[in-house]
A and B are shown apart, each in its own frame.
Chain A
Amino acid sequence: EVQLVESGGGLVQPGGSLRLSCAVSGFTFSDHYMDWVRQAPGKGLEWVGRSRNKGNSFTTEYAASVKGRFTISRDDSKNSLYLQMNSLKTEDTAVYFCVRAYDNSGYSLGYWGQGTLVTVSS
């Protein structure tokens, strides 16, 4: 069974940093594209970024709203995905979901974690 468990959320001041983690199980981590998607309170979903699979050299892509501030990385030895968030803004307040692509084409988001809440406030 595919499982994704996020952790690391919390309260941080504007301008601060936070690192989210996502522990995965039930599949071969290095074979799959992994994404981060966020949802501000009472709002819709927003794609944050992606880490491609090993066959694509684990390259990354980011939404314009976070590019240059957020970094996605992964540690295959720990079956974990990370989201390093720097220079945080109040508008980054959201639940952050770790997501695995549904299949190897990578064009849909098939498996979601339960999410972790990040609150950026002074």
Chain B
Amino acid sequence: QSALTQPASVSGSPGQSITISCTGTSSDVGGYKYVSWYQQYPGKAPKLMIYDVSKRPSGVSNRFSGSKSGNTASLTISGLQAEDEADYYCSSYTGSSTWVFGGGTKLTVL
């Protein structure tokens, strides 16, 4: 199972909105409604930000939103803040009870 494709890096200024894409295939992203997004600071454990494509766990800011179209899922962060600077990973269920992650995207807040 190949990793999902994410841009290596994205950047934005405070207050702006950015979108991170996550491209897979019909066997993973396109085939299921089980895409998740994780935020990770250096040296720390990942944190679940979005699950089931567009749902937010309790406590996660509503500045974070998720969507999917075909084989590509997207994470949008609006009203960008300095604390959003981190690595972001997408993940998808692939069937056969296995999961695949994206390669990760480094978000820089300018």
Contacts and interface: CB of A to CB of B under 8 A. Distances in A.
Contact of B102 (A44, A97, A108, A113): A44
Contact of A114 (B36, B45, B91, B93): B45
The size class of the interface chain B forms with chain A is 20 to 34
Contact of A108 (B48, B89, B97): B48
Interface string A83-111: 00000000000000100001001011110
A107 B1 CA distance: 17
Contacts, number: 60
Nearest to A111: B48
The size class of the interface chain A forms with chain B is 20 to 34
A109 B100 contact: no
Nearest to B104: A44
Interface of B: 1, 3, 34, 36, 38, 44-48, 51-52, 57, 89, 91, 93, 96-104
